[in-house]
Structure 1
Amino acid sequence: MFLTDHGPAFPRAKSTLYDAGTGIAMVIRPPSRREFAPRVYDELFSGVDLLPTLLDLLGIDMPADVDGLSHAAALLGADTVAEPVRDHVYTTKTYHDSFDPIRAIRTKEFSYIENYVPRPLLDLPWDIEESPSGMAVAQFVKSPRPQRELYDLRADPTETTNLLTGDAAAKIDAVAADLAVRLHDWRQRTGDVIPSEFAGTRIAERYTETYLRIHRTAPSSRSAIAADRGIEEEAASANQ
């Protein structure tokens, strides 16, 4: 089994909940004696589904306390499975090298994202901010990030047009409302707690201090405190 890491170190990829930041590649070579025909499985698959799927393929009962859904039946007999195993997945970010809490729900058609604290459009991580691509976009990503984002993945697969800016059509409002309720319900079921700005920022500072000490690395020119990297003052004032 081969898995990639989440998100290449480019703006709007690593440390975001856009497709480029959450989608990974997975390649599995089954035992040769099983004689599976090679195939590409492009249905929605969450990381928590991996263990249930492997246990099911091995004929092992799944413990009651294991989360996720098994895709074994879909993988073994695609033509006999009428409905996809999943119609949505959830993704989360709370920290990278700063406190930046985001939650999202994604279907095949739409991506809905909630941002819980004021941040710039992109909160560029250390390994991106001082890279050529990071420096190229830095001046364009300091305006305020919207609290809610919705993207039509069929028409806009790179997630560049937020459908919730301006006057959204009634249909778009209905889609966003449905996804928001599902995301809220999932957060309630899983006990998802987001720290306060003060606590979250202190945790991020402590992490970066520890990381720099262990790796004997000089501090970046970029503060671990999100507010120090902030939002353009004029744009922030206009949004108030």
Structure 2
Amino acid sequence: MIESIEPRLCSIGIAITASQAAYVGISIQNKDSHDMPGNRKEAQPNILKITCHDLGQHIGCYGIPTVRTPNIDRIAETGIRFENSFCVAPQCSPSRASMVTGRYPHNNGVMGLTHGDFAWDLNRNERHLAGLLSDAGWRSVLVGLQHETQDPERMFDEIVTTSDQCEIVADHAAAFLDNRRDANQPFYIQLGFTEPHREPRSSSGFGKMPSDHSEKATFPEYLVDEPDAQDEMMAFEGAIHRVDTAIGHVLEALDEASRTEETLILMTTDHGIPFPRAKCSPYDPGIETCFIIRWPGGPLPRGKTYDEMISNIDLLPTVLDLVDHPIPETIQGLSFAPLLTDSGSYQTRTKIFGEMTYHDYCDPRRWIRTNKYKLIINFTTALSFMNPSQTWRPKAVSRDPPDPALEYHKPVELYDLDEDPMETNNLAEHSEYEPIRRDMLTRLHRWMKETEDPLLNGIPAPPMHERALSTLRNERK
């Protein structure tokens, strides 16, 4: 099991480092507080960033009728929802790292998972959103799961004691808000929920089920709708309902602390849902993400949906822009704050770039997506997509390819997203699409060169490579 969460390690007497403990949500870290009377920045909002694992856009306000998400839907109804929001990487750590640094995974250092022996991590000089806001006067607090670094202690002012269960995480967030009713210093809370990530060792595959879960789930077109797969999708929707209830608890605490009006809320996820041809793949089901933003007392509209295309690398510059904080020159994302506030010059995104290098194994892929086309270039002949089911016997299987164990990457993939939204008809070798193929390849290659993608010079070695070499050197001694 690649990404299992084991919150009971300490209780059974296994020693773990502070960084490992922070990943499973059982450490506490407090830096010296600069929360002094009168230190509250004038007109600066509190910031609450809510991130769920593996959620994609599988929630009510994105058109999924069978999943119960009244609290997330309420944020959208009173805020802003982006219909075309995508991540830069369809895996956990690289996507999250880009969100909080505003830089691509191959630039910020996180080209694979950060936990355990995977051991990828942010560059030592990388600036995290928490640190930028802390330096500007916010108190930065981690409540719950983070998956972008092995060393969260250097990123946050405070790490709150938590559990990986969403109900406990929400309790700790509510307690924090209650304790800060009279605090003058604005806060940045990074609230991370494990749910609805898979829990393969649980009977449902997604942890405990709420008693009122639906008897029928909404099934994506790209999966085969079979009884076992329906059971799995219902369990997934049950986990979503659980985390939505936990989010509702935090929203209530925000209300009770009289902080709602002055709090900028960002509700999002890391990538698409944890099913075949979604998570760990560059197709839209793998890179589509919910993105909802609300600031009742700020200059943002309410109850509005935008069709503009955004990337989650844009989150950091947008937040900094909204709170009038300078955006560092090294940031690669684009602020869409001018679109929300109807001020300044909004730079419309006509394309987004994405990447995958490592997850369960090395599978380097790069892509460019416009509103109409997507081009993917593959650097190995790996299987057609990486299976995120965390089991040798997946209950849900893809419609295309019908037998993914026998299908391998083509060098180039090109899809017309208007005519073929499921991305099953590869046009890369069709002569009539040669001009589009050439143009998309040129733009993708230019982006890789401009961002100094190491993949241009060969596949980057993973952290385990150096450990293996070190072991061999020691063995020779």
Instruction: Please confirm whether the aligned pair reaches a TM-score higher than 0.5, indicating the same fold.
Output: yes
Q: Give the distance between the partners of 2:371 and 2:460, measured in 1 at CA.
A: 36
Query: Is 1:124 matched with 2:387?
Result: yes
Q: Does 1:143 align with 2:407?
A: yes
Return the alpha-carbon distance in structure 1 between the equivalents of residues 294 and 362 of structure 2: 38
Structure 1 pair 122–65 and aligned structure 2 pair: CA distance change class (3 A): closer
Using the size of structure 2 for normalisation, the TM-score is 0.38
Query: What is the Cα-based RMSD across aligned positions, in Å?
Result: 3.0
User: Is 1:169–2:431 an aligned residue pair?
Assistant: yes
Question: Which structure has the greater CA radius of gyration?
Answer: 2
1:202 to 1:85, Cα distance in 2 relative to 1, 3 A: same
Secondary structure at the residue paired with 1:32? coil
Question: 1:129–1:112: structure 2 CA closer, same or farther, 3 Å change rule?
Answer: farther
Tell me if the contact between 1:128 and 1:134 (Cα under 8 Å) persists in the aligned partners: no
Q: Which of 261, 277, 283 lines up with 1:18 in the alignment?
A: 283
SS in structure 2 of the partner of residue 56 of structure 1: helix
In the TM superposition, residue 183 of structure 1 has moved relative to its aligned partner by: 0.6
Residues 117 and 197, structure 1, Cα contact 8 Å, conserved in 2: no
- Please state how far the C-alpha of 1:125 moved relative to its aligned partner: 3.8
Taking the aligned partners of 1:94 and 1:135, their CA distance within structure 2 comes to 22
- Work out the CA distance in 1 between the residues paired with 2:336 and 2:308: 9
CA contact (8 A) 2:380 2:409 kept: no
Which of 453, 459, 465 is the equivalent residue of 1:192?
453
Residue 356 of structure 2 is aligned to residue 93 of structure 1: yes
Paired residues for 1:31-46 under 5 Å: 31-34=296-299, 36-46=301-311
1:8–1:14 Cα contact (<8 Å) kept: yes
Cα deviation code 1:44-79 (max 9, x no counterpart): 11222112112222222222222211111222239x
Counterpart amino acid of residue 23 in structure 1? E
Q: Could you tell me which amino acid in structure 2 is paired with residue 48 of structure 1?
A: I
- Matched with 1:153 is 417
115 and 122 in structure 1: CA distance in 2 versus 1, 3 angstrom threshold: same
Aligned pair in 2 of structure 1 residues 35, 63: CA closer, same or farther (>3 Å)?
A: closer
Stretch deviating more after TM superposition (32-41 or 67-76):
32-41
SS at match of 1:73: helix
Higher relative contact order (CA 8 A, sep 6+): 2
Structure 1 stretches lacking a partner, 5+ long: 207-240
In the TM superposition, structure 1's runs of 4+ consecutive aligned residues that sit over 3 Å from their partners are 134-139, 195-203
C-alpha separation between the residues in 1 aligned to 2:330 and 2:459? Answer: 32
**Mapped contact 1:69–1:85 kept (Cα < 8 A):** no
CA contact (8 A) 2:276 2:389 kept: no
Counterpart of 2:378 in structure 1: which amino acid? N
Question: Is 1:50 aligned with 2:315?
Answer: yes
Which letter maps to 1:93? M
For residues 52-71 of structure 1, the aligned pairs below 5 Å read: 52-71=317-336
Give, in whole Å, the separation in 2 of the partners of 1:162 and 1:201: 34
2:278–2:286 Cα contact (<8 Å) kept:
yes
Partner Cα distance (2:417, 2:401) in 1: 25
Q: Are the equivalent residues in 2 in contact too, given 1:90–1:103 (CA < 8 A)?
A: yes
**1:178 shift after superposition:** 0.7
> Does the residue aligned with 2:414 lie in a helix, a strand or coil?
strand
Secondary structure of 1:44's aligned partner? strand
Return the letter of the residue paired with 2:326: D
- AA in 2 matched with 1:186: W
* Distance verdict in 2 for CA 1:130–1:138, change over 3 Å: farther
Change (3 A) 1:56 1:135: closer
**Closer, same or farther: CA 178–139 of 1 in aligned 2, 3 Å:** closer
Gaps of 5+ in 2: 1-265, 469-477
Q: Is the 8 A contact 1:43 1:84 kept in 2?
A: no
Whose helix fraction is larger, Structure 1's or Structure 2's? 1
Is the 2:274–2:389 contact (alpha carbons within 8 Å) kept by the matching residues of 1?
no
How many equivalent pairs are there? 200
Instruction: Measure how far apart 1:130 and its partner are.
Output: 2.7
Q: Distance in 1 between matches of 2:366 and 2:307?
A: 23
1:182 is the counterpart of 2:447:
no
**Does the Cα contact within 8 Å between 1:16 and 1:22 map onto a contact in 2?**
yes
* Aligned amino acid, residue 8 of structure 1: I
* 2:367 counterpart residue number: 104
Distance in 2 (alpha carbons) for counterparts of 1:198 and 1:106: 24
Paired position in structure 2 for 1:4: 269
